[in-house]
Amino acid sequence: MNRYTFGGDEHLFVECDESMSLEAFFKSLSMTTAIRASKIAGVTEICPANASFQVKFDPDVISPDDMLRAVKAIEQDAEKADPVIGTRIVEIPVFYQDPWTHETLMRFRERHQDPSSTDIEYAARINGLDGVDAFVAAHSGSPWFVSMVGFVAGLPFMYQMVERQRQIEVPKYLRPRTDTPRLTVGHGGCFGCIYSVRGAGGYQMFGITPMPIYDPTQTTSYLRDFMVFFRPGDIVKFKPVRRDEYDVTVADVDAGRFAPRMRDVTFDLREFTKDMDAYNRSLEDKLNDR
């Protein structure tokens, strides 16, 4: 059962679970979708998160108690909904162990759990993986679910689509950095992310993507319709690339020639949980279809 709390007179916070899981995310997603479709008078904004969401409303149009009753009624219907969504799988190129995140992480070693190693070496070791190559294989070998977008504009939080015991887990820095390169592929706790802009951060840094995911000018060819690329429910497949491939992609982005490789797919949580590896392979097969 959900936990409901008010934030002042204008916000209703709904917690679907205390811990993140795809089941909790699907419940949050189905409820926010239903709230949006119901067009409750007074709702001004709906903000989904990993295993929760928040509804902003105008208390001059609908009282907090009436808002609570309306959302609780939607919860009952959401619990009966099939855990199936139409979404897309997207290939994201990643230059692992790039020179820019390496230079940055070396500047902040005193804030790290292990100043004697790099972020990716540390992550490999504490996850029981045999070195950097094995870590890259584990990180890029299975898809990731975008469970929320935010914190800063366009930043996706991603949840690895494998059994919990196989999920990569790495703590954040002991103290946050004051700098993180734009488009850094990072990780904190059980969540991966891509830093949409340059700025402070505490996630471990594994590499960088040449693919912009946020463009407020909307001049990037595939971001002209909307400045933010990701949306909750997207499925991400990382693809390791070399420095020359990274440079070519950057040039293609600048010239307006680059388009993300992606396919529309249907994701069924029940089928996924039956055999995660087989289901992931079927998703990747759809991505590779010509």
Q: Which residue has the tokens 């903000």?
A: 47
For domain 86-288, give the fold. Answer: Cyclophilin (2.40.100)
In CATH terms, are 3-80 and 86-288 the same topology? no
In this prediction, residue 290 carries a pLDDT of: 57
Three-class secondary structure of residue 130 per DSSP: coil
Residue 107 has which token pair?
A: 């500047």
In this prediction, residue 22 carries a pLDDT of: 86
Spatial distance between the Cα atoms of 273 and 118, rounded to a whole number of angstroms? 34
Residue 115: Cβ within 10 Å count: 12
Mean pLDDT highest for which of 48-57, 73-82, 131-140? 131-140
Q: Please determine, for residue 29, whether its predicted confidence score (pLDDT) is greater than 90.
A: no
Spatial distance between the Cα atoms of 128 and 122, rounded to a whole number of angstroms? 10
Report CA-CA distances (Å) from 136 to 44, 67, 99, 123, 182. Answer: 42, 46, 16, 10, 20
Spatial distance between the Cα atoms of 32 and 233, rounded to a whole number of angstroms? 12
User: Whose CA is closest to 14, among 42, 60, 56?
Assistant: 56
CATH of domain 3-80: 3.30.1360.40
Mean pLDDT highest for which of 13-22, 33-42, 119-128, 280-289? 119-128
pLDDT tens per residue, range 158-185: 999 999 999 999 999 999 999 999 999 9
CA dihedral 24, 25, 28, 30 (to 10 degrees): -110
Q: Please determine, for residue 81, whether its predicted confidence score (pLDDT) is greater than 80.
A: no
Specify the DSSP element, H or E, that contains 36: helix 22-38
Confidence of residue 49 (pLDDT cuts 50, 70, 90): confident
237: left (phi over 0), alpha (psi -120 to 50) or beta: beta
Spatial distance between the Cα atoms of 138 and 160, rounded to a whole number of angstroms? 10
Strand ranges inside the chain, DSSP E: 3-7, 11-15, 43-48, 52-57, 84-96, 144-149, 156-160, 184-188, 191-194, 204-208, 235-240, 261-268
User: Whose CA is closest to 119, among 186, 201, 209?
Assistant: 186
Q: Tell me the percentage of the chain whose pLDDT exceeds 70.
A: 100
Q: Please determine, for residue 226, whether its predicted confidence score (pLDDT) is greater than 80.
A: yes
- Asked if residues 29 and 37 have their Cβ atoms less than 8 Å apart, the reply is no
Domain ranges of the chain: 3-80, 86-288
Spatial distance between the Cα atoms of 224 and 93, rounded to a whole number of angstroms? 21
In this prediction, residue 26 carries a pLDDT of: 86
Side chain identity at 45, as an amino acid letter? E
